[in-house]
Structure 1
């Protein structure tokens, strides 16, 4: 329950930030930097490089596709260690990404459509903080992209636990 409460507070805070930040597409130069950063982050996972976790802020949150997957960075790192002992942890390739920024460019958020070999198409959104030393991911949420016409079948499977 504390995790759920923390996630709810984080989401409400995130929505408040977005309301005050006045969402605007990031300028092309910033969007290019963000795209390179996020692509490198995904590439770290694809090649099982522990540098993946260095790109997440110490207070960063990662929300996976399972309802139990809500982690602070260090807990996520501990959970994922077994995957990073292989040649590849997971392989996400962005096929579309939209990047937005606050007026002062200190807070950046994005959404992306991902091609994944194991889960099929996924969608994700993230929040990046710009610091004096570069970017860091503050929040990332991954979701499986379930086609609307299959949602009823998926809901039934989840309800029956199969």
Structure 2
């Protein structure tokens, strides 16, 4: 019993210190975080449009995931860099401009998720993702890009991709 009491006391101290270190963020700070996140996302899209490879990937975490519009595109950061490099080397990767964006933050202000409607060379697309605070900087940890298809056109799109999808499904 004498050995258990110091261990319990230590656990309580650690627990209290962890809670103090992870305090909830006030409304002003949450608004500031949203502005910072919007700035990072806009700069990330601009870096692609300007073919600035290092700037683009500096906005992502080392373990980031990028999920593209093709069913085969579920890229870990290193593989996504290899895939993307030839596009950046040609002088223009892709051009996405946010038409609208919603950003939501955790109560502690260290993780956020977002969705955005994008104007792209593929017409309207949707992007969504997760950003996290790394030191003093927001970085993209997970991003999903999808092509926006009007509900009235879904049947035609399904017919166009049916053969390709069956190949992908057979591999899975």
* TM-score band w.r.t. shorter chain: 0.7 to 0.9
Residues 69-96 of structure 1, C-alpha deviations (whole Å, 9 max, x = no match): 0011110000111100122100000000
1:77 corresponds, among 68, 74, 81, to 81
User: Normalising to structure 2: TM-score of the pair?
Assistant: 0.76
2:101 corresponds, among 94, 97, 100, to 97
In structure 2, the residue matched to 1:64 is 68
User: Normalising to structure 1: TM-score of the pair?
Assistant: 0.80
Higher helix share: 2
Taking the aligned partners of 2:47 and 2:61, their CA distance within structure 1 comes to 16
Taking the aligned partners of 1:105 and 1:27, their CA distance within structure 2 comes to 6
Superposition misfits of 4+ residues, deviation over 3 angstroms: none
> Structure 1 residue 28: deviation in Å?
2.6
In structure 1, the residue matched to 2:144 is 141
1:111 corresponds, among 112, 115, 130, to 115
In structure 2, the residue matched to 1:132 is 135
Q: Which has the larger radius of gyration?
A: 2
Residues 128-137 or 145-154, more deviating: 128-137
**What secondary structure is seen at the aligned counterpart in 2 of 1:66?**
coil
**What secondary structure is seen at the aligned counterpart in 2 of 1:39?**
helix
2:47 corresponds, among 44, 47, 63, to 44
Check conservation: 2:99, 2:117, Cα contact below 8 A: yes
Check conservation: 2:66, 2:75, Cα contact below 8 A: yes
- What RMSD, in angstroms, separates the aligned Cα atoms of the two structures? 1.5
Structure 1: give runs of 5+ residues left out of the alignment: 1-25
TM alignment of 1:5-20, pairs within 5 A: none
Aligned length: 136
Taking the aligned partners of 1:133 and 1:96, their CA distance within structure 2 comes to 25
In structure 2, the residue matched to 1:30 is 33
> Structure 1 residue 27: deviation in Å?
3.3
> Structure 1 residue 133: deviation in Å?
3.5
